[in-house]
Amino acid sequence: MAIACGVDFGTSNSTVGWVRPGQPSLLPLEDGKTTLPSVVFFNADEDAVRYGRAALLDYLEGYDGRLMRSLKSLLGTPLMEGQTEVGGRALPFRQLLGQFIGELKGRAETAAGREFSSVVLGRPVYFVDEDPDADRLAEDTLAGIARAAGFSDIAFQYEPIAAAFDYESRIEREELVLIADIGGGTSDFSLLRLGPGRRERLDRRDDILATGGVHLGGTDFDKYLSLAAVMPLLGYGSSLASGAAIPSSYYFNLATWHTINLAYTRKSVVQLDDLVRDAAEPAKLRRLRALVEDRAGHWLAMQVEGAKIGLSGAEQVELELDRLSPPERLRVERATFVDAVEGLVDGIGAAVRRLLVEAGVTPGQVDTVFFTGGSSGVGALRERIAAIVPDARRVEGDLFGSIGAGLAIDAVRKFG
């Protein structure tokens, strides 16, 4: 059995991998499932902290409290050194991430029946685009949080390279592989030579032709779908009676997972009262104010996320927005989603092209595209990547587990 584990702390879901002979590498973390949604709910009614699916269930059942999701997106941003209010007291975001990492570690140790002091942590190719200092600070911050949670020996591996190690464990011939890891917060890519004759090498630097990525992912798809299809019901794009535009910050906060709680401040509620009075369409602003007062922003974001997932396989979906006042049944077309995220798809496609140029590889030389990450199921994105390397075969890994499994393999190389 391996000494160390691999931890994939994801924007939307997290996993822990541990190599054991003859057994699956991913450890069960919640109700027998190997994924733990990266969610924390501070249940004020029961004075308890819930994690994962239990956190989401408490929130949806209407318990009073504070829901926090997409915690990883805070790394590399100024918010990381800030704090939020929970139960009338200030909670530093650094401490919040530490609580979640500590919970992840504890659950993995319970499942494994042993303690882990050594870990390989997954990280995106870029926490922060085009800012090496901020990117380095984000990694150092995560290392400090992991150390405070009880890990003493810490190494990092790029998430798409970890996914490559998982894919390599199952192939029987050498391939040039493009790893497309489309997660909740980032889209990361690696181009590697993989094969049975290479997998036992301790030093794989010569096999990695290029790595790259952009800070765009599934939560960004959620955001732009929300702004295009749902937020207009709450007044987004409307105006004041004077003709001035309604400030967009309320809608952007509500459409972005890690800033939803910013919409709930007392200052925001007071400002919304003024906007209702001065709006050209006051009914929409009253609906927005009611949503904020009910702290239903995360519920609304979950409905949008569900629509995004549904539109990957259907031409249209219907949303039952029964917590709006008045309730609304909204039909969302796939074409609306595709138009809303076109700029994001363009940016991700450009990152793939840059990767090929950096590696000195033509599209026709790529044998395989290996898709992983929960957001790699978005059809428009898959089609764009497939069009860039049209001759490559497409392989789908475990969308939520490939990285954790690959990190476990890398942990054996690094720690034994």
DSSP code of 12? S
Assigned token pair, 217: 């992912």
Yes or no: say if 308 and 225 are a contact pair by the CB < 8 Å rule.
yes
For residues 93 and 75, give the distance between their C-alpha atoms in angstroms, rounded to a whole number: 10
User: In the chain, where are the structural domains located?
Assistant: 5-173+398-415, 219-340
Reported as type and span, the H/E element at residue 85 is strand 83-86
DSSP code of 311? H
Q: Indicate the burial class of 53 (C-beta count within 10 angstroms; 0-12, 13-18, 19 or more).
A: middle
For residues 86 and 90, give the distance between their C-alpha atoms in angstroms, rounded to a whole number: 6
At 85-123, the pLDDT tens digits run 888 888 999 999 999 999 999 999 999 999 999 999 999
CB atoms within 10 A of CB 143: 16
CB atoms within 10 A of CB 309: 18
pTM: 0.89
DSSP of 105-169: HHHHHHHHTS---EEEEEE-S-SSTT-HHHHHHHHHHHHHHHHHTT--EEEEEEHHHHHHHHHHT
Q: What is the pLDDT of residue 11?
A: 92
Residue with tokens 């497309």: 180
Residues whose CB falls within 8 Å of the CB of residue 278, separated by 6 or more in sequence, listed in order: 240, 241, 242
Flag residues of the chain having pLDDT under 70.
none
At 342-359, the pLDDT tens digits run 999 999 999 999 999 999
Percentages of the chain per state (helix, strand, coil), in multiples of 5: 45, 25, 30
Q: What is the pLDDT of residue 121?
A: 98
For residues 206 and 245, give the distance between their C-alpha atoms in angstroms, rounded to a whole number: 55
Residues whose CB falls within 8 Å of the CB of residue 17, separated by 6 or more in sequence, listed in order: 5, 6, 7, 8, 25, 26, 27, 404, 405, 406, 407, 408, 409, 411
For residues 60 and 261, give the distance between their C-alpha atoms in angstroms, rounded to a whole number: 16
Q: What is the pLDDT of residue 397?
A: 86
At 4-53, the pLDDT tens digits run 999 999 999 999 999 999 899 999 999 999 999 999 999 999 999 999 99
Q: Which residues pair with 49 in a beta bridge?
A: 42
For residues 194 and 173, give the distance between their C-alpha atoms in angstroms, rounded to a whole number: 8
Classify 397 as helix, strand or coil.
coil
Yes or no: say if 309 and 400 are a contact pair by the CB < 8 Å rule.
no
Among 188, 178, 185, which residue's Cα sits nearest to residue 351? Answer: 188
For residues 243 and 103, give the distance between their C-alpha atoms in angstroms, rounded to a whole number: 50
- Which CATH code of 3.30.420.40, 3.40.190.150, 3.10.300.10, 2.60.40.420 fits the domain covering 5-173+398-415? 3.30.420.40
Classify 28 as helix, strand or coil.
coil
Q: What is the pLDDT of residue 139?
A: 96
For residues 409 and 122, give the distance between their C-alpha atoms in angstroms, rounded to a whole number: 12
Assigned token pair, 26: 């991913």
Classify 300 as helix, strand or coil.
helix
DSSP code of 243? S
What is the number of helices (H) and of strands (E) in the chain?
13, 17
Residue with tokens 């798409």: 160
DSSP code of 6? E
Residue 45's identity, in one-letter code, is D
